[in-house]
A and B are shown apart, each in its own frame.
Chain A
């Protein structure tokens, strides 16, 4: 690893964070959809959904947090694409900097931006009556899973950021990710779904992650589900990093 990796990444991270600070609309547009969904599901549809637990907002929040991340990471693809379009990417590549710092700074920016978005959504949920019995360790575990999931999806977003041929293409890939929570245990228990749909829902990453978050928020034991959740996150992360790295090296020669 290049001896300048940490320093170069820090400089470029500072640059991207300034972008976010100067256009906070990227945070606002990220949180608006999850918050609207939360309002819709809690106050309009929630009354008809039988989850078997007390408060529906408590049941719903983990899925909403996943949707927040899924919509937030598309900005990484967008910002990376813009860097490639303008000359600044070539400027960085022709400078004596650590090659991977350019990608890592975008990824870390995504983690920071998504954490801000998650806190905003969490505050709205608290105002809507969300309550948790999680202790400090439980909160740390929740934060750990959310950061890991953000990292995994952000590296996934790096791929369209590097390969897209238009701005729309770079950011459009996130839409299917936003719908993944709907076919999971995020909004309704999977038991209510017909066979094949239920089989898909129970074996896709969102369900295990949502179930683990829900257990942690409730202060209950997470069981073996958390290992499946972590395995999914690490698996997606490893595959996405490998592919993004391959495309990046091919791109920068």
Chain B
């Protein structure tokens, strides 16, 4: 097994649903401990690719390896290595935040599930909310809990499928912080997004998936070089609405 090499390796992956071919030969390599952003519009095939890599779907052709395990033949090994956070917060609303974390830790067959749950609550600033039912959480809190649940047992590879879709700007920043923290701890993160700025802010490498194929794959600088030489223009830099919103909303706390 190639421990030092790629955490995720995809070669010639194809998948169709009936007549619609969603993935038409996808190749990517994701280095260990990096954040890899898969950028694409709705229907580009991002979720399908993530589902194949997390063993929820079977590919029609091609190969995919996660943490050295083949997703088709060694699904159990893949499931030991990964954790998936889908587009919709996969949390149990009737349980409390802490109960959700304990449940996931037990399902990963970890000892001291309670301690692990308390640690994760602290890391994601959910300690106070831990005893409340998730039904009462805000969107950002749910997504943070969702990501926290993914971290129980420290799986080496994490898939985040559009982790900030449907979140307000503050919630988005909370999630970004969490993702950066993950990668700094050595976790490999593959995240999908349709927001260009999200890929720009978070990712070490960015691949653009379009109509089932990878159009480009590289660092932000490499992608920038694909465009014609920058021209110099003088523009007045005005604050964006997001800057204004965040300044007003978070200003009180500072």
Contacts and interface: CB of A to CB of B under 8 A. Distances in A.
Contacts of B104: 91, 95
A53 interface: no
Interface in B209-249: none
A223 interface: no
Contacts of A87: 86-90
B246 to A, nearest CB: 28
Contacts of A96: 76, 79-80, 108-109
A211 interface: no
Interface string B35-66: 00000000000000001001111100000000
Contacts of A22: 94, 133
Given A14-B103, A91-B86, 20 more contacts: A7-B109, A8-B107, A11-B106, A11-B107, A15-B99, A18-B94, A18-B95, A23-B94, A87-B87, A90-B51, A93-B56, A94-B79, A95-B104, A95-B107, A96-B79, A96-B108, A96-B109, A97-B107, A252-B56, A253-B55
Nearest to A83: B92
A8 B105 CA distance: 11
A18 B99 contact: yes
B82 interface: yes
A12 B133 CA distance: 17
A49 B88 CA distance: 55
B83 interface: yes
Given A23-B94, A87-B87, A253 B57 contact: yes
A253 B86 CA distance: 18
Nearest to A18: B95
B141 interface: no
A47 interface: no
A19 B88 CA distance: 20
Interface in A86-116: 86-88, 90-97
B189 interface: no
Contacts of A91: 84, 86, 90, 104, 149
Contact of A15 (B76, B80, B95): B95
Interface of B: 51, 54-58, 76, 79-80, 82-84, 86-92, 94-95, 99, 103-104, 106-109, 133, 149
Contacts of B95: 15, 18
B90 to A, nearest CB: 3
A14 B79 CA distance: 23
A50 interface: no
A4 interface: yes
Nearest to A14: B103
9 contacts: A12-B103, A15-B103, A18-B95, A23-B94, A87-B88, A88-B92, A90-B84, A253-B57, A253-B58
Given A4-B109, A95-B108, A86 B90 contact: yes
Contacts of B103: 11-12, 14-15
A12 B99 CA distance: 12
Contacts of A93: 55-56
Nearest to A91: B90
Contacts of B76: 96
Contact of B94 (A8, A19, A97, A252): A19
B116 to A, nearest CB: 14
Contacts of B79: 94-96
A253 B48 CA distance: 14
A4 B107 CA distance: 9
B94 A94 contact: no
A86 B86 CA distance: 10
Of listed B87, B91, B92, residue having the most chain A CB within 10 A: B92
Contacts of A86: 88, 90
A94 B56 contact: yes
B88 A92 contact: no
A97 B76 CA distance: 9
Contact of A94 (B54, B92, B99, B109): B54
A53 B95 CA distance: 50
Nearest to A97: B107
Interface string A1-12: 000100110011
